[in-house]
Structure 1
Amino acid sequence: MGIPHFLCIPFPIQGHVNPLMQCSLLLAKHGCKVTFVHTEFSYKRANTAGGDNMEEAQVELVTLPDGLDPQDDRSDVAKLLFSMKSTMPALLPKLIHDINASDVENKITCIIVTINMGWALEVAHKLGIKGALLFPASATSLASAACIPKLIEDGIIDSQGVPTKNQEIQLSPNMPMMDTSYFPWRGFKKIFFEHLVQEMQTLKLGEWWLCNTSYGLEPGAFSISPKFLPIGPLMENSNRSSFWEEDTGCLEWLDQQPPQSVVYVSFGSLAVMDPHQFKELALGLDLLHRPFIWVVRPANDDKENVNSYPRDFHGSKGKRVGWAPQKKILNHPSLACFISHCGWNSTLEGICAGVPFLCWPCTTDQFLNKSYICDVWKIGLGLDKDETEIISRGEIRKKVDQLLVDEDIKARSLKLKELTLNNIQEGGQSSKNLNFFMDWAK
């Protein structure tokens, strides 16, 4: 019997590629064979961003076309999704066959996908290969999606996923109360919600739903399904999965700042900010009179960012970067707090760095993550919008000042960091779960 050989297939957006690459590196470190499938487009993009190093050579990269033309807009996630769903299932069996032919001793034993790639589990199933899901958001988001049929049946949402009324519910008795307007599919178009419902059915073909979380972070979520297996936080360092080139110059700049003085601002890889809000944020950062790092991501098609800085913005105390080595920044002794969109990857990275949050959720599961940060773990504060739906410069300044003198939040952040990282130490719960999963794959 050879070693387990995993074929990992992420949906090609940054927030899915990262955790699955980290999971791949972890499996490879434990002596498994791992082949990672990029789309041709993502592969080119990640390579142009300068990602490649020797220690990651233990994960083999292969590619499949996503079915779109080179000039198509891949930031249109629905277009990308349905193109892949209609073209890739026919191509995957040949890829599997070729990989197996090249190493007969160690054929593929298990396919791991992220959500939206359930079709690959169907292909695996037909070929008699085991399957698993790695869910890139929180276990609570996965629990919400798994409960959709019941939520419809109980009249909490309609068949389009829209809450029938604003209320707070509990998905299970030991989970925190959840505002129905914050379900992670909020803002999905009808076609996307229908895809999600269908996808959750398909994903049942995966015997395990691996979660990038720890039991201690969201214990209640694990009562929803026996398939849930927490193996997080996934914290392997990978520079092979970034779609933008990282500006590492900001690390030297950080070295020159006083301890716990710098405010870090980043809204992840997908968020696009309204120009008026962008200006208010810029002026808010000026008002802080503190050093800051602000990630102003390049637009998806490499054009200049749509937002122009306001005339009266000085930014003299800060550093603006296009894309940043986030983990290194968060773990730097100069860092004071993280103004975040509360995407799950960023939330985990902030927790593992023990950094207090200022929450600025924009979409989908981020509102849910915010309620965990502010109400459950109590390691951050929310930013409130004014009557024009804008987060004002005054609000930004007020909350930063409030957060940075709150010793209780700082203490809880450090405690949560320790508890969370203990899971991935030898003998920790997530570590044991990963060993169990690898044994199962054999």
Structure 2
Amino acid sequence: KIVFFFSAMARPHVLVIPYPAQGHVLPLMSLSRYLAKQGIQITFINTVFNHNRIINSLSKSSSHDYLGDQMKLVWIPDGLEDSPEERNIPGKLSESVLRFMPNKVEELIERMIGESTIISCVVADQSLGWAIEVAAKFEIRRAAFCPAAASSMVLGFSIQKLVDDGLIESDGSPKVNKTIQLSPGMPEMETNKFVWVNLKNKESQKNIFELVLQNNKSIESTDWLLCNSVYELETAAFGLYPQILPVGPIGWSQSLEDDESTSLGSFLPQDRDCLDWLDRYIPGSVIYVAFGSFGFMGKIQLEELAIGLELTKRPVFWVTGSGDQPPIKPGSGLIKVVRWAPQREVLSHRAIGCFVSHCGWNSTLEGAGNGIPFVCIPYFADQFINKAYICDVWKIGLEFEQDELGVVSKLEVKKKIDEVMRNDGEYTKRAMVVKEIMMKSVAKDGISYGNLTKFVNWIKKEAN
């Protein structure tokens, strides 16, 4: 049982509500820690399942050392307690988010108000439009936070136009297979790979599309629409919708010296010994392989990837997440495999020379923000938009080509990695330019820094 304790002091108090997936929780946790450092009280809501995973992953320290007095982690049920295996079934989680969570959040806010807690603002994941509506019902100020690229949000805002142009049905299904560009300078998108289409499951597609439509409506009543991105890297998308304010990469204005706390929000315990292993290798020599927390790769593809990586004859650091163990031959000393790692620190390590990635937005920002070139193997949701940025817009990586069976062959793995890591360093040079742009955005005169400062000042003003 969680005991709720809310301070009655008059400092601002922000309620933070992420979508219950790892890639959404981490950036909102970074934003929360930033706000807490500005003297703002934070109550961070997770589902009970994710709450327990986060607490259990904080192995080296008590949660209080990570959180201090400014942050409280609280939980609500997700409706899947009686059948936990359903959390792994695509469609079930999105259904819980859509149908079950709204009432639980409303009950929590009622309880907080009943305990005389004054909530200055609700910061909700942009994909939870209902959370904005719940806040409005209680007349609480509200901000939506998009943990993905601005282009992903712009795609959602463009649904009616896509229907009118005959590109998609009213349920989001593509009418034609076509590559489109919402605006010059934005990445090209394929209609059969739109965020809500490419979820590998019809039920998920239906639920996520319904969430997107709901969000488009509720977003109109937000006071702020923040995005974990960088103006200079997505100028065209921000130009189309000036109300979207870049504040990314979130958490990077804090130095990496308090790195222990970058693990806060992680669902799995991090293997920190990997940093000692990386110390053995010369700068730019190690291939880092990670596909996020889901680990979605089939057995045949895992095998081809493992053999292809061995063929490069380079050191490899491979993070599996929840996926299967790669079939590495015994005695393959150049390859280290762990379940989870402190990714930001790994990518900032001088030994890393290339990132083989699924192109989740957090991974995209963390790789680019450290000047690391990519080899891309996107799988679902917004990863195809991010891949287009990496390969076509910023030109800091290459995509693996699949054969007629949809498999990336071992020879293709070796070829693309060799090309990205070749001696002229063409991809690394361009990645370093992108890194520079990102660092400037969170520095004192940067656009992201300025937007975040205005947001903090507004919260403090609202509290008084």
Same fold judged by TM-score > 0.5? yes
With 323-332 and 81-90 compared, the bigger mean Cα shift is at 81-90
SS in 2 for 1:45: helix
Q: 2:238 aligns with which of 222, 234, 252?
A: 222
Over 3 Å counting, the alpha-carbon distance change for 1:332 and 1:144 in structure 2 is same
Over 3 Å counting, the alpha-carbon distance change for 1:176 and 1:89 in structure 2 is closer
Counterpart code for 2:46: H
Partner of 1:161: 172
Partner of 1:302: none
Over 3 Å counting, the alpha-carbon distance change for 1:314 and 1:162 in structure 2 is farther
Contact 1:330 1:355 survives alignment (8 Å): yes
Partner of 2:160: 149
Partner of 1:386: 403
Q: 1:66 aligns with which of 49, 61, 78?
A: 78
Contact 2:192 2:198 survives alignment (8 Å): no
CA shift, 1:102, in A, is 5.2
Contact 2:358 2:378 survives alignment (8 Å): yes
Contact 2:295 2:322 survives alignment (8 Å): no
Over 3 Å counting, the alpha-carbon distance change for 1:147 and 1:327 in structure 2 is same
Counterpart code for 1:60: K
Sequence identity of aligned pairs in percent? 41
Q: Do structure 1's residue 13 and structure 2's residue 21 form an aligned pair? A: yes
CA shift, 1:410, in A, is 1.2
Q: Do structure 1's residue 427 and structure 2's residue 445 form an aligned pair? A: yes
Matches within 5 A, 1:365-404: 365-404=382-421
Partner of 2:129: 118
Tell me how large the CA RMSD over aligned residues is: 2.1
SS in 2 for 1:265: strand
Counterpart code for 1:67: G
Counterpart code for 1:62: V
Matches within 5 A, 1:197-236: 197-235=213-251
Q: Do structure 1's residue 288 and structure 2's residue 306 form an aligned pair? A: no
Contact 1:247 1:323 survives alignment (8 Å): yes
Matches within 5 A, 1:16-55: 16-50=24-58, 52=63, 54-55=65-66
SS in 2 for 1:204: helix
Q: Do structure 1's residue 328 and structure 2's residue 340 form an aligned pair? A: no
Partner of 1:81: 94
CA distance in 1 between counterparts of 2:372 and 2:307 reads: 24
Over 3 Å counting, the alpha-carbon distance change for 1:198 and 1:99 in structure 2 is closer
CA distance in 2 between counterparts of 1:291 and 1:211 reads: 36
Contact 2:132 2:222 survives alignment (8 Å): yes
Contact 2:295 2:321 survives alignment (8 Å): no
Over 3 Å counting, the alpha-carbon distance change for 1:55 and 1:367 in structure 2 is same
Q: Give the number of aligned pairs.
A: 433
CA distance in 1 between counterparts of 2:159 and 2:51 reads: 34
CA distance in 2 between counterparts of 1:48 and 1:218 reads: 37
Partner of 2:105: 92
With 176-185 and 152-161 compared, the bigger mean Cα shift is at 176-185
Matches within 5 A, 1:234-249: 234-235=250-251, 237-249=261-273
Contact 1:282 1:315 survives alignment (8 Å): no
CA distance in 2 between counterparts of 1:11 and 1:76 reads: 16
CA distance in 2 between counterparts of 1:26 and 1:275 reads: 41
CA shift, 1:2, in A, is 4.0
| TM-score, length basis structure 1 | 0.92
Q: 1:261-286: per-residue Cα shift (whole Å, max 9, x none)?
A: 10000001124111100111111111
Over 3 Å counting, the alpha-carbon distance change for 1:377 and 1:243 in structure 2 is same
With 81-90 and 388-397 compared, the bigger mean Cα shift is at 81-90
